[in-house]
Amino acid sequence: MAKIFICGLVFLLLTACSPQSSEHTANTDAVSANKTSTFEVTDVWARATFAMAQTGAVYLTLNNQTETDVSLLSASVPSDLADEVQLHDMAMNDGMMQMQEMVDGVNVDVGETLEFRPGGKHIMLLGLKKPLNDGDSFELTLRFKNRDELTLLVNVKDARNLN
């Protein structure tokens, strides 16, 4: 009887501890200006463009494990890279999928993980001044409502090489 009780206790301890340790690992890997924060921006990349491209797209994942909703208002890149940066989403328009600007920004609710990915939400670079080549990197600054801005390094990847 005593043995069973001990095993049960160990099992409980293990299950109680494992979510915490995996969360800790995720925080360590996260790109974040504020280490105590549990708002994370991960998987930041831009799709490589062809030589004369006028536009580019950046993708990332926003994960809000704070106590308050987070609102991403805008993004910017150095002026020698692009003229303008907009937050875009895809929407049906006259039976066609088209992209449109999210002029009011985008909300990340408490506990939500929001993915910007090809075919969905993306950060659009307009008036691209040079092509984005596989292996390049550049700085992207995100501005939030009620939150410090965040500057991230974006790696350019050839989408054909992605899994």
Q: Which residues lie below 8 Å from residue 99, measured CB to CB, with a gap of 6+?
A: 88, 89, 90, 91, 122, 124
- The answer to whether 152 and 78 have CB atoms below 8 angstroms apart is no
Q: Please tell me whether residue 47 binds Cu ion under the rule CB under 5 A.
A: no
**Angle, CA 80 vertex, CA 76 and CA 82 arms, to 5°:** 50
Q: How far is the CB of 55 from Cu ion (least distance, A)?
A: 7
Q: How far is CA 80 from the centre of its chain?
A: 23
- The answer to whether 127 and 83 have CB atoms below 8 angstroms apart is yes
Q: Nearer Cβ to Cu ion, position 31 or 99?
A: 99
For 19, the token pair is: 């979510």
Q: Nearer Cβ to Cu ion, position 84 or 109?
A: 84
Q: Nearer Cβ to Cu ion, position 33 or 124?
A: 124
Q: How far is the CB of 13 from Cu ion (least distance, A)?
A: 49
Q: Please tell me whether residue 99 binds Cu ion under the rule CB under 5 A.
A: yes
Q: How far is the CB of 82 from Cu ion (least distance, A)?
A: 12
Residues 48, 28, 41, 21, Cα dihedral to 10°: 120
Q: Which of residues 65-84 bind Cu ion (CB under 5 A)?
A: none
Q: Please tell me whether residue 88 binds Cu ion under the rule CB under 5 A.
A: yes
Q: How far is the CB of 83 from Cu ion (least distance, A)?
A: 14
Distance of alpha carbon 110 from alpha carbon 127, whole angstroms: 34
Tell me which amino acid residue 11 is. Answer: F
- Binding-residue pattern over the window 119 to 148 for Cu ion, x denoting contact by CB under 5 A: -----x------------------------
Q: Nearer Cβ to Cu ion, position 73 or 124?
A: 124
Q: How far is the CB of 47 from Cu ion (least distance, A)?
A: 11
Residues of the shown chain interacting with Cu ion in the complex, contacts defined by CB under 5 A: 88, 99, 124
